[in-house]
Amino acid sequence: MNLVLRREPLSLLDDMYETFANRVGYAMPAPAWGSPAAAWGSPGTTRARLDVVEKGDVYEIKVDLPGVKKGDIQIDLNDNHVAISAAARTDREVKDGEVAIYSERQTSQFARSFDLPQPVMEDKADASFEDGVLTLKLPKKKTHTGRRLAIR
């Protein structure tokens, strides 16, 4: 059985909130609706979009991080908690005699924090980054199934 974490209803409110903040050009503080998906980080941080799929004994997570370089990504794992943060920096080059008329390219920050249904093995985790997509493969920790004790 494959487990796919689906968007909870409150994440739709998160999307509307983010869209409104982007349209008015104001970095409003993140809402505190209590959902694990609402972990945005500091004001001005964009909630990174992701997919989480369970493939047997491994969780595969794909996170969109446009404009980010591999060295600017941080991933923290603790049992079943995953925290991802990244920064995209755009260097502006204005040469002598040039004047910037209009500039929208700037530093962007992404963050996402969530809990998986089962703890993962941090030492066996694998991460790759290609074409703005971070892929994590997190093997599940073996759960103790117990044993039947024979009476002598």
DSSP of the chain, one letter per residue? ---BPPPPHHHHHHHHHHHHHHHHT--PPPP----GGG---STTEEEPPEEEEEETTEEEEEEE-TT--GGGEEEEEETTEEEEEEEE-------TT----------EEEEEEEE-SS-B-GGG-EEEEETTEEEEEEEBPPPP---PPPP-
Q: What is the pLDDT of residues 68-114, one digit of tens each?
A: 899 999 999 998 999 999 988 776 677 777 777 666 666 788 888 99
How much is the pLDDT for 152? 82
How much is the pLDDT for 12? 59
How much is the pLDDT for 121? 93
Architecture of domain 9-139: Sandwich (2.60)
**pLDDT above 80 (res 122):** yes
How much is the pLDDT for 37? 39
How much is the pLDDT for 64? 92
Would you list the domain boundaries of the chain?
9-139
Question: Quick one: tokens of 6?
Answer: 């689906």
How much is the pLDDT for 32? 38
Give the pLDDT mean for 128-149. 87
Lowest-pLDDT range of 6-10, 20-24, 54-58, 106-110: 6-10
Task: Kindly report the pTM of this predicted structure.
Answer: 0.62
Give the pLDDT mean for 117-139. 94
**pLDDT above 60 (res 123):** yes
**pLDDT above 60 (res 35):** no
How much is the pLDDT for 14? 62
